[in-house]
Amino acid sequence: MRVITLLLCLLLVPLCLYAETPPAGDGHSDVGQARAGHATDDQGAEDHGEDGHGNGHTGPPELPNVITLIFGHDSVPAHWMNVIYAMVIGILLSLLALRVYRHREMIPGRFQNAAEAVVEGLDNFFYGILGKDARPFVPFLGTLFVYILAMNIFALFPGMMSPTGGPYGINTTIALAICVFFYVQYTGVRRLGLAGYFDHLAGQPRDVIGWVLVPLNLPIHIIGELAKPMSLSLRLFGNITGEDVLLAVFVGLGVAALSWTGSPVGLPLHLPFFFMALLVSLIQALVFSLLSSIYLLMMLPHHEEEH
């Protein structure tokens, strides 16, 4: 019963929030008429549309969040929204981790059981990829997975937004990818040594042909190392942004379907996509951490099997 009640709240509250903040271009609202009056001045319209979270912007539709509802769309620069929510999620996860650590018991309760199940599952998952070398890297890769998953699904809660999506979500995903990039390079230098690290970038030449191909292999490997974080960030950003836009569009359609009745809420047309968003968020967090572990595996020294 509690789960059903929570689900209904998660489905209905976004409809109320969207009804309070009509979509861009709604000519039937007073806000839309007021903005239409100012649209005669092209320069003024451009200045008004600079805010990525304002209703007058020409970008993809977005659901309103707590900050824009309380303080207005111009209270906080749009590119700071992702930073604020990313910090909030990080603080919440840190508090949860501290609670589990400080209240751990020999006979764990439900909360500790859930946390231990997550940690054990992540440990087994990354052990299947990295083998016996996995244990030192599980804290980083596991934290990466949990943090990205939390950011991905945060927009599904009323009044929240996903720091990995939206117009400036690319900033968050690039920051995460840069962390992975430097962690992988640091691990390579630490495990291979400086000489072994450059030998890896040069393609590990062992004969005349290998040394002849070094001028070709070296720039290719460097470009490949730089392209890996870019592919990680773009994949995560594109999928989460598409998910958020889809939800916003169908929430708007649900509100518009009952607008003639004056109802404060609309039809829950976004219900099927709500569950799809949960699945996409989980898959994208898993893909990001999985590819990060593979990039890490490619940097680690490989030993031939002994028969």
- The pLDDT tens digits for 147-180 are 999 999 998 888 888 899 888 889 999 999 999 9
Average pLDDT of span 84-96: 92
* Residue 292 pLDDT greater than 80, yes or no: yes
Asked if residues 197 and 188 have their Cβ atoms less than 8 Å apart, the reply is: yes
DSSP count for the chain of H helices, then E strands? 11, 0
How far is residue 135's CA from residue 130's CA, in Å, rounded to a whole number?
A: 9
Q: What pLDDT, on a 0 to 100 scale, did the predictor assign at position 135?
A: 86
Q: Where are the domains of the chain?
A: 2-23+61-299
CA angle at 121 for the pair 116 and 123, rounded to the nearest 5°: 95
Residues 6+ apart with CB under 8 A from 180: 144, 228, 229, 232, 292, 295
* Residue 127 pLDDT greater than 80, yes or no: yes
Against a cut of 0.95, is the pTM above it?
no
* Residue 270 pLDDT greater than 60, yes or no: yes
